[in-house]
Each structure stands twice: as C-alpha cells, then as structure tokens.
Structure 1
Amino acid sequence: MNASIGAGPSRVPWNKGRLTGQKPPLKLKEIWAIRVRLQLSFRVRDLVMFNLAIDSKLRACDLTKLRVRDICHGEHVASRATVMQQKTQRPVQFEITEQTRDSVAAWIRHAGLNATDFLFPSRIHDSPHLSTRQYARLVHRWIAWIGLDDTACGTHTMRRTKASLIYRRTKNLRAVQLLLGHTKLESTVRYLGIEVDDALEMAEQTEV
C-alpha cells in the first residue's frame, strides 16, 4: 500500500496566495514619500533602517546584524563601510550618504548605543538584534503607508532600489555587481532583470 495514501492532509505550499519572483525597486518619488512619512512621525529607528537599507544595498540578514562599530569611527559615522556578507562570506563596501549619516548619529544618541552594540537592537528578549522577520514586517508597513501593494514588495525591494537607479543612470553593470557583492556578473543581470527591462525600454523608443 502506498504510504502517502491516508497519511493526513497534504502540505500547503509556502507560497500559496503570495506573489513570488523579483521584488520591484522603489522609484525616487516613493523613496522620498516614505522618508518624509518616517520623519514626520518621528520614527527615528525606522528612518535609519530605511536610509541604510537604501544606501547599503545589504541583504536583510546583514542589515539587521550591523553593529555601531561597523559604520562608525569613534563618534563619527563613516562615509563608507565594509561588512562581511553572511551568504557569500565575502566583504562588500557601501557608501553612507550625508542624510543617512545624520539620521544614524541621531539614532545612536537617542538609543544610547555603544560601539559594540547592535545598531538595531530587538525589543524581543530572545533576540539581541532585530530579526529579518521583524524587518520584513517594517518594510511591508512602509510600502503600504504610501499606497503601494505591499504584497508585491519585500526586503529585496530595498536591496534592489539604489542598485537599479545606479544602473539606469550609468549602465555600468560591473559597478552594480561590486556594490551588490555578487560573485558573478550573471547573478547581477538576473537580480536586476535588466535584460527584460532594457528590451522593453528599446521597444518603447521604437516607433513603427
């Protein structure tokens, strides 16, 4: 007799009812809409997390584990930082813009953080830092705030946003590869979905 028969209810697919695939990047006006909303609501931590997510282009697992010392030199927030990626075990560099540095400095003062502290400590006692699940919830909240479909977005929306903007402005795929910390150029092509986007862009510019 087949062991699978009568073995109980079948497992529900993890992605049932969810949109899967590439998460679209935010547009400039959407970035600023979220940023202004966070500023006006005085969400100091969320503003720092949002700004750093855009600047750093880090995966959620790396962003949530940042320590103060990773982006600060003494009492000053650095303009560039390097972190070791959990997924690839390879270092990746990223820039920290002035507005992000200002928000980071304000958050460190507000939270009373020291150099060895996690930049985003968790409010849950079992975890020393914000979890990727908690971060994902925040991202969905930010997206929903400005009227976008949060089911179509996720943490990779944050990672992909600035990389996509840089590619659109420069068409320098190698630079984007380095910024994302990809080991292969093919990974960057797939991640940005640029072949399809470029083809559509050329088609839109071609009148027949």
Structure 2
Amino acid sequence: MSKEFPSRWDVLEDNLHADCRIFEVYKRRFRRQSDGVESDFFVLDTNDWVNVLAITPNDELVLVRQFRYGTKEYSLEPPGGVIEKGENPIVAGLRELEEETGYVGKDARLIGQARPNAAILSNHCYFVLVEGVHKTAKIAFDEHEELLTELYPVQNLKSMVANNEITHSIGLNAILKLILHRGL
C-alpha cells in the first residue's frame, strides 16, 4: 500500500491585511491542486524565535515566570525571544538569556527547532542549549517585559511537565528536545 500525500495548495494571492508591530497578518488565497477548491486563509508572518535551555553548573535549568497577555496568566518557560533578521539563533539565544535573566554562558549549541503553529504561523523556533551558565550580567528587560528568574533541577523537568507546572507549548517543545538530548 503506497502512501499519498494530500494535494498541494497553490498561492493565488498574498496581501498584507494588518501590520501589528510584532507580526504581520497576511490574507492568502489558495487553490487545491487536486480539485481546484479555493479559499482564503490568514497567516501571521513573524521573525523566527529562540528558546534557551540554560543549565547551571549545579544542573539546574534557568526558567522565567512572566505574565502572558494572550492567556492573562503567568507562564513558566525558558527564556527566549525574537531572532533579528539575519541573526544567528545561537547569538540571539545568548543575547536573550543575558537580557532576560542576567545569566551568561559560552558553551552554546543548537539542539533543535520546531514550527510553533504551522496552521497560522510562518516562522521557526530554535532551541539553544547553554551549559555552565553563571549570573553575572545586569538584566535588561524590553519595555513590555517583567520576568522573575527561577532555577529548577533538570531531573525534575519530567514531573513538572506531567504536573502542568510548565504549559507554554513552545517551552514544552524546548524541554522535550533537552530531555531527548540528555537521554533523560
């Protein structure tokens, strides 16, 4: 039995619908190749993102707790942010780590990536592992940021995920990559 992929869709129109500071909303008209069905879809076009899995010498993961406007709740998640156009994800990760937490490290490497929500988002999120981090820098929050830095033993991550202590989906992806990378 052969596997067949669903029919591809061709872009017929691609129009900027709204510019919303951190992303642009595009209205895209698609046509399915198999039967000619056409429909409009809205896509959020934004820069790529980075999540940083920063590990202290005591094998603790640096997480941040911050208010999230979408859920109107506090969220516990890895530090991270926007990758500037043309910026290397590792460089962006180290920058975001320092700005948001004051932690710095040199042993950084990319351990994965994911599509945050392929149904409506065009970007990637990269996962950067930084080991042996130390708090040495001053925190430099962006205008709309106010974060609390917290340390958690890496060995507790699975139970934290199971107990819904971490619910941010991109953060969960990052932690899964760390668990797989470490063979936990």
Q: TM-score range by the shorter chain?
A: under 0.3
Tell me which protein shows more helix as a share of its residues. 1
TM-score (norm. length: structure 2): 0.26
Tell me which protein shows more strand as a share of its residues. 2
